[in-house]
Structures are given as C-alpha cells and as structure tokens.
Amino acid sequence: MEKLWGWIWRGLAICFALLFLYQVWLFAHICWWVKYNPSSSAFMETRLQVMQDKNPKAALQYQWVPYAKISNNLKRALIVAEDANFVDHEGFDWDGIAKAYLKNMQRGKIVAGGSTISQQLAKNLFLSTKRTPWRKGEEAIITLMLEVVMDKQRIFEIYLNVIEWGEGVFGAEAAARHYFGISAGQLSPEQAAKLAAMVPNPRYYDKHREARGLLAKTIVILDRMPDADIP
C-alpha cells in the first residue's frame, strides 16, 4: 500500500511540475511579445488547418500593422462593441460578467459572454477551440499574465492584429482590405463600426454582409463611439 501511495505522489509531483513548466512557457512568450510581434496565434493555426483540410492551398489573409497606423475609429468601435471598460479594469470586467450571467439565465441559453479584450486575446493566442474543464481557468491565468506584463496599448495592439474578421481573415489590416479595399488607417467611423459589429460571428457576417442584425448593431456602435476611451 505504501508503495502505491508513493507512485501516486510521484505522479502528482510530475503533473504539477509539467503544469508549472507550461505556465513558465506561456509567461516567456508573453514577455517576448512585449517588444516583438507574434507571427501567428493558436486560433489562427487552428483555422488554417480547417481551411487546408478542404483546400490544401488555402492561406490566411494576415498582415501586421503598428498601433499608430490603425484608425482610431476602429479602436473606439471595438472598445464600444467588446469591452467598454477596457482602459479601467485589470483584465476582468466583473460588472460585465454579472450582466452577461443574468442575461443568459433570463434567456435560458448563452447569448452574452462578458469576456474582456484581454480575455479574448489570451484565448486566441494560446488556447484551442475545444471546451475543456480547465480551459476557463487557464484563460484567467493568461489574462493575468498579459495585464501584469503588458500595458493596455500593447494588449490592444496585439488584439487588433490577431482577431478573426472572416473566413481566413485576421487582423485589422487584412479586414480593411478584405471588406473595403483600403488600409486599416483609412477606415471611416461607419466602416469601423461595421467591422466591430462583425467580431462575435465574423465568418457568418463575411457571407451575410447586409444582415439586418449586423446593420442594427453597427448603428448602435456608431452612436456610442465618440464617448469611447482608447489606450
């Protein structure tokens, strides 16, 4: 019996050591990305694999663009649409989470997420799309790492460059060129509001660009943009 318990404790020790090393690996990447731009993300790689399963020659539309060269219209639109308290919170918007929970309870299904921009970035950079028991906990740990190591502008810059905006379309520059034939720095308030409205379901809206719900949300975002605080 003692021998069995010895093996159990050794197994647990190995698991904890591997988990610790994985956190160190994540933290090292985040520290590196303070100054150097990520060339890809876990979510981008997943989507590319799905696309290449259907077409081996498929490629992503993606081009990094510095923060200063992205229209402030798009920055304001995304703050309004995805995380109104981004510049003030420390990674988690507890009021937003509570409101999303109440809304989901009232509807009897998930209709609101409450995830902040920092949480979305944590998920996109490192985590798979599979829902596992530990996934939300890991997302929270990565979010804390991002908030501790990076300032808000750097978090937002990476977010703007890696989020999905359509079938194989990632980042503000690719989105601006894909939908409007212009650079990310040239986006008008109306164009920026429409791109922000697409974020929750980008592949669907890529194929249904005149959807009634998309147009209605665009109008709401456009109306609120002047009051948005950006880093």
Nearest to 25 by CA among 145, 178, 165: 145
pLDDT in the model for residue 22 = 87
Q: Which two tokens stand for residue 41?
A: 């993300």
pLDDT tens-digit readout, 118-134: 999 999 999 877 777 67
DSSP-derived secondary structure letter, 91: S
pLDDT tens-digit readout, 57-82: 999 999 999 999 999 999 999 999 99
Residue reference for tokens 């079938």: 167
Q: What is the pTM of this model?
A: 0.89
Task: Compute CA distances 185 → 77, 124, 133, 177, whole Å.
Answer: 14, 23, 40, 11
The answer to whether 75 and 156 are in contact (CB under 8 A) is: yes
Q: Inform me whether the pLDDT recorded for 2 exceeds 60.
A: yes
pLDDT tens-digit readout, 141-184: 999 999 999 999 999 999 999 999 999 999 999 999 999 999 99
- Phi first, then psi, for residue 166 (nearest 5°) are 155, -175
Q: Which two tokens stand for residue 158?
A: 């990476």
The answer to whether 170 and 121 are in contact (CB under 8 A) is: no
Greatest Cα pair distance, the chain, in angstroms, is 71
Nearest to 25 by CA among 8, 5, 7, 42: 42
β-strands 61-62, 164-166: how paired? unpaired
CA 145 – CA 105 distance, rounded (Å): 30
Q: Inform me whether the pLDDT recorded for 109 exceeds 70.
A: no
Q: How confident is the model at residue 113 (pLDDT cuts 50, 70, 90)?
A: low
pLDDT tens-digit readout, 13-46: 788 788 888 898 999 999 999 999 999 999 999 9
Higher pLDDT, 2 or 29: 29
Q: Which two tokens stand for residue 89?
A: 């919170």
